[in-house]
Amino acid sequence: MNDSKKSIKDYIKADKQEAFFKLSSEVYTDPYLFNLEMDKIFYKSWVYLCHESQLKVPNDYLTTYIGEIPIILVKTEGGKILGLINRCRHRGALVCRQEKGNSKFFRCPYHGWTYSNDGRLLGVPDRDGYPEQFNMEKLGLLKIPQLVNYYGFIFGSLSSDVPEFENYIGEAGKLLRLIAQKFPGGIEVLRGYHKYGVPINWKLAFENAVDHYHAPFVHESYFEAVGHNPGRRIDLRSKDLSLYLGKGHLVDLMFREYEIYEVDEKGSPWYLNNNGNLTEIEKKWASKITFHLAIFPNVIVFDVASPGPTIRVIRPVKVNYTEVYSYYYLPKNAPKEYKEKELRASLRFYGPAGMGTPDDLEVLKLATEGYKVKEKEGKYNDLSRGVHRDFRYHEILELVNAEMIGHGTDDTGYRGFYKWWAKIVFGEELDF
Ligand code: FES
Ligand SMILES: [Fe+2]
């Protein structure tokens, strides 16, 4: 088949009345789709870039990617955060090879053209060798046209023609705001982070962060080690929920009223005392709920104590190769013991040598092996769990207006993600 003739029907079969939702394995293996996703998702929409606390003082910079495009984020001398395309205007080499640092200039390693950190081309070796018409003012590093700082979370877009940020972030914005404001003084990302490459498609890394069904199986050894092993039992009485917030944004939400929070004599966690930033419903969330918030297409914020505060950034490299960056964040003004405990919790689970992440990566690789099967019916993933039920029952959910709510173990997140994906990549609405 001519690739450009492919449609959503080649990848998804779904029928709400008949209660099935089938996803072809090819969504994770088809190089044609990978290129289409770069174009339609990563280059035409908003993408998470970093947290403002990673650029602390003037001239701090970090390098990252939007899709396959290399980017530099920098805090200029004047304190403004800018996004630059990390590509020399001479022969195209990366002008910055470091992942982070502090510098007023970027000097291209190839022929030494030198740029200021606000992108201006300041000097080229042997200027006299160029004609009079050679205009350095027109040869600065290109800027990312769109950059937004949303409660400290920085998002950008390579397209000047994207929907308003508020429109893109939608209901997920309320939860980002909550994460940012839950702690008096806000949060900060720690200097050190982990980065690992995995031979899987980027969507697997994104989706698994809100897949609750796997936890008792894949993470059995972790639960055993930390002493609250539920066994290989799916407990539908647990109030864990899977929310689809619209626009591709997903939440895995857990009500945790046990040992996680240290509370004062009124039963309130320390950070809620005198915290005037939060509304009543936000306070209820902050004291009773912990969640994983997956923001389409490339970041998951693991809210405190679930099991540790982490920001996971997904970088698609190839159709079958993905890099994952794991940043750890903490409340800036928290007591020292609290910080130490939270960081330990994060590393214990999410670190590459932790008890959670390596197990997740193992099963995602196993899934990728299975995706080599191309048999007509055998190549489909079944995502029908929970199609027949709705868990829209809890008053605490009033904070966000979710499009779909399933039990934590339901495939609600997958269905929501692919509903949005179908719309963005193929311009088609799935009736689901
Ligand atoms: S490619 Fe950068 S100076 Fe030549
Ligand atoms: Fe997991």
pLDDT tens digit string along 326-379?
999 999 988 888 889 889 989 999 988 899 999 999 999 999 999 999 898 999
What confidence tens digit (pLDDT) does each residue in 156-211 have?
Answer: 999 999 999 999 999 999 999 999 998 888 999 999 999 999 999 999 999 999 99
Neighbours of ion ligand 2 (CB under 5 A): 360
Domain borders along the chain are 51-156, 165-426
pLDDT classification of 307: cutoffs 50, 70, 90? confident
Which residue CA neighbors atom 3 of ligand 1 most closely?
A: 111
- What is the model's pLDDT at position 398? 86
Which residue CA neighbors atom 1 of ligand 1 most closely?
A: 91
- What is the model's pLDDT at position 286? 84
| 158 Cα to the center of ligand 1, angstroms | 23
Is residue 111 lining ligand 1, measured as CB closer than 6 Å? yes
What confidence tens digit (pLDDT) does each residue in 89-103 have?
Answer: 999 999 999 999 999
The pLDDT of residue 104 is above 50:
yes
Query: CA 156, CA 299: separation in Å to the nearest integer?
Result: 13
Query: CA 7, CA 347: separation in Å to the nearest integer?
Result: 42
| 123 Cα to the center of ligand 1, angstroms | 11
Average pLDDT over residues 286-314: 90
Confirm whether 51-156 and 165-426 share one CATH topology: no
C-alpha dihedral over 30, 32, 37, 43, to 10 degrees?
Answer: 150
CATH number for the domain formed by residue range(s) 51-156: 2.102.10.10
| 175 Cα to the center of ligand 2, angstroms | 21
Is residue 284 lining ligand 1, measured as CB closer than 6 Å? no
- What is the model's pLDDT at position 391? 80
What confidence tens digit (pLDDT) does each residue in 387-400 have?
Answer: 998 887 666 678 99
- Across the chain, mean pLDDT equals 92
Q: Quick one: 38 exposed, middle or buried, by C-beta within 10 A (0-12, 13-18, 19+)?
A: middle
| 198 Cα to the center of ligand 2, angstroms | 15
Query: CA 310, CA 346: separation in Å to the nearest integer?
Result: 7
Residues near 353 by beta carbon (within 8 Å), at least 6 away in sequence = none
- What is the model's pLDDT at position 240? 87
| 127 Cα to the center of ligand 1, angstroms | 13
**Pairing status of strand 321-331 against strand 187-198:** antiparallel
Is residue 88 lining ligand 1, measured as CB closer than 6 Å? yes
Q: Angle at the Cα of 336 (from 330 to 339), degrees rounded to 5? A: 30
Most confident of 141-145, 236-240, 280-284: 141-145
Which residue CA neighbors atom 4 of ligand 1 most closely?
A: 111
Q: Atom of ligand 1 at shortest distance to CA of 91?
A: 1
For residue 263, the 8-state DSSP code is B
- What is the model's pLDDT at position 230? 64
The pLDDT of residue 261 is above 60:
no
Residues of the chain with pLDDT > 70: what percent? 93
pLDDT classification of 229: cutoffs 50, 70, 90? low
| 216 Cα to the center of ligand 1, angstroms | 53
The pLDDT of residue 299 is above 60:
yes
Q: Which ligand lies nearest to the CA atom of residue 209 in the structure?
A: 2
How far is residue 35 from each of residues 39, 198, 416, measured CA to CA in Å? Answer: 6, 19, 22
- What is the model's pLDDT at position 259? 41
pLDDT classification of 23: cutoffs 50, 70, 90? very high
* CATH class, range 165-426: alpha beta
Is residue 141 lining ligand 1, measured as CB closer than 6 Å? no
Q: Angle at the Cα of 301 (from 297 to 304), degrees rounded to 5? A: 170
- What is the model's pLDDT at position 3? 73
Q: Atom of ligand 1 at shortest distance to CA of 108?
A: 2
Indicate the top mutation candidate among 88, 121, 124, 126 to test ligand 1's pocket, ranked by most ligand atoms within 8 A of CB. Answer: 88
Candidate from 68-77, 262-271, 394-403 with smallest mean pLDDT: 262-271
Average pLDDT over residues 405-416: 95
| 116 Cα to the center of ligand 1, angstroms | 15
The pLDDT of residue 54 is above 70:
yes
Is residue 96 lining ligand 1, measured as CB closer than 6 Å? no
- For residue 115, give the H/E element and its range: strand 114-116
